[in-house]
Amino acid sequence: MKSLVILGAGTAGTTVANRLHALLDSDQWRITIVDQNETHYYQPGFLFIPFGIYSKNDVVKPKRDFIPAGVELIMSPIEHIDAEHNRVTLAKDRRILAYDFLVIATGCQTRPEQTPGLKDGAWGHTIHEFYTVDGAVALAKHLRTWRGGRLVVNVVDNPIKCPVAPLEFLMLADSYFTEHGLRDRVDITYATPLPGAFTKPIASRHLGDILERKSIKVVPDFLIERVDPDARRIVSYDEQSLEYDLLISVPLNMGDEVIARSGLGDDLNYVPVDKHTLQSTKFSNIFVLGDAASLPTSKAGSVAHFAVDCFADNFLRLIDGLDLLPTFDGHANCFIESGFGKGLLIDFNYDVEPLPGHYPLPGIGPFSLLQETEMNHWGKMMFRWMYWNLLLKGQELPLPARMTMAGKMYR
Amino acid sequence: MPTRTIAGKTVTVNDEGFMTNPAEWSKEIAAELATEEGLPALSEAHWKVIDFCRQEAAASGKAPTLRQITTGAAVSTKDLFALFPKGPAKKVARISGLGKPEGCV
């Protein structure tokens, strides 16, 4: 009997547990999945909570409902991964799990305490965030009675989970305040450590002025050093200062602490992997799926999904003694809400930047790449159903895992 | 892709003057790009950062983030801003011939 242990029952962990459970012979393989929280969050939905579009109930379901019978689910924090000896120590009962193969899918989390002043007394009052369900709910409550002022959205540093979410938040805020008759009393500013809101040449050409058209001011190259919560201002390392009445922070993202404790991560606790096979660069029986991996692509559910597709095929090759194929191309596919019932869609990989065109059917769509359409918005809204009912259950979606150039145009 | 001549060598650059092929880079090019960025002559401290970024990019295929630079090259964020004022990530990347720091879109 061989043992496969999966750490983390989020998007990547749950999907891969379902997929491999269906593919592996249950007489020969024991699959175990470990997570410390009972609740599965539909994280793309957090963005909608502050604006009253979704409630907490729309984004939560029990993790147990998505783990197939035949896969052992253990609810416990993970104490340590001993990669040299192929075993994992759990906090619960100090249980030790030995494995033949390990999948790390422990994701990444926001770490507001890493920025001085951010998590002081003003946290939850004049400083909010929307990357946790509690944060998003608290912000929804705050916005319901907010009378306007200077709204600053700040990304502390990259990489972040769902890198388009801050842009979506800005555009949804513009839409929300307009609909509430408050837009003329709200200044919206985006302070980003990147050289601009859009940095890829073709996307910039298509979308570069979209924030300007919505009267959203962009402050580029802003690397925050500290928050001065009493003076309500954020200060960058080069002493630029931005005053706010309401600060929406996207705190520093880091991989799980167990990665650091186990000596498996880089400076942000992400695990280095081969970018085409997702195999650990140090241990050939460890694979890393989802946000936990150090990869030059977005940290996003679509990436986790495509990575699982590629990994599952490769894993079957590996256990049959075949070489891994370098199949994963960094494919990401992200809807971007742009407010007023419209949205954008981007589709890209390691080598190809977001391009205009149609997706998934060339020339037809129904979705339009790099263009604001109502259909793209509906795609995003329908995606929640697909997530709970198809994606998490490991079913093959009719979308190729690898990016295709069909339907895309260089222009 | 447009090309331009820097320090006597013709290299490919993008619309914003960032080199697109790290292999075409040389120390002489770095010195000239640093002058264009308004920096004084490159000191040992500058070179420590540039060398680290070149090594890191060769290993990982992408220019390191500011956090990786401060940890990896053992320089404080404040000092990094003093060495490469106003947007060090972008400046270091340009001078090191590593392309522009980019988001996903």
The pLDDT score that the predictor gives to residue B101 is: 79
Cis peptide before A366 (omega within 30 of 0): yes
The pLDDT score that the predictor gives to residue B87 is: 80
Interface membership of A410 toward B (CB under 8 Å): no
Interface membership of A240 toward B (CB under 8 Å): no
Residue B50 structure tokens: 């540039």
User: What is the separation of C-alpha A52 from the centre of its chain, rounded to a whole number of angstroms?
Assistant: 21
The one-letter amino acid code at A9 reads A
For the question of an ipTM over 0.90, the answer is no
| CATH 3.50.50.60 domain range(s) in chain A | 2-110+254-319, 112-253
Looking at the DSSP assignment, which residues form a beta bridge with residue A286?
A102
pLDDT for A223 beyond 70: yes
How far, in Å, CA of A220 to CA of A240, rounded? 11
CATH 3.90.550.10 fits A2-110+254-319, yes or no: no
The pLDDT score that the predictor gives to residue A411 is: 63
- Select the residue from A164, A204, A221 to test the B interface by mutation, using most B Cβ atoms within 10 A: A221
Contacts of A282 (CB under 8 A, 6+ apart): A83, A264, A272
The pLDDT score that the predictor gives to residue B17 is: 84
Question: Which residue of chain B has the CA closest to A199?
Answer: B102
- Can you identify the CATH homologous superfamily of domain A112-253? FAD/NAD(P)-binding domain (3.50.50.60)
Interface membership of A130 toward B (CB under 8 Å): no
pLDDT for A127 beyond 70: yes
Residue range A77-89, pLDDT digits in tens: 999 999 999 999 9
Residue range B18-28, pLDDT digits in tens: 898 999 999 99
Residues of chain A neighbouring B71 (CB-CB closer than 8 A): 267
Cβ pair A158:B103 closer than 8 A: yes
Cβ pair A267:B78 closer than 8 A: no
- Select the residue from A190, A192, A199 to test the B interface by mutation, using most B Cβ atoms within 10 A: A199
A243, A150 contact by CB (below 8 A)? yes
Active-site annotation of B, residues: 104
Mean pLDDT of A37-51: 98
CA distances from A238 to A74, A224, B44, B87 (A): 47, 9, 22, 8
Question: Which residue of chain A has the CA closest to B88?
Answer: A221
Domain residue extents for chain B:
3-95
What are the backbone dihedrals phi and psi of residue B90, each rounded to the nearest 5 degrees, phi first? -70, -45
Q: What is the DSSP string of B69-104?
A: HHHHTT--HHHHHHHS-S-HHHHHHHHTT-------
B80 vs chain A: nearest CA distance in angstroms?
A: 9
Looking at the DSSP assignment, which residues form a beta bridge with residue A299?
A161
For chain B, how are helix, strand and coil distributed in percent, rounded to 5? 50, 10, 40
pLDDT for A318 beyond 70: yes
Mean pLDDT of A320-345: 97
Residues 180-239 of chain A with CB under 8 A from chain B are 193-195, 198-201, 203, 207, 220-221, 223, 225, 237-238
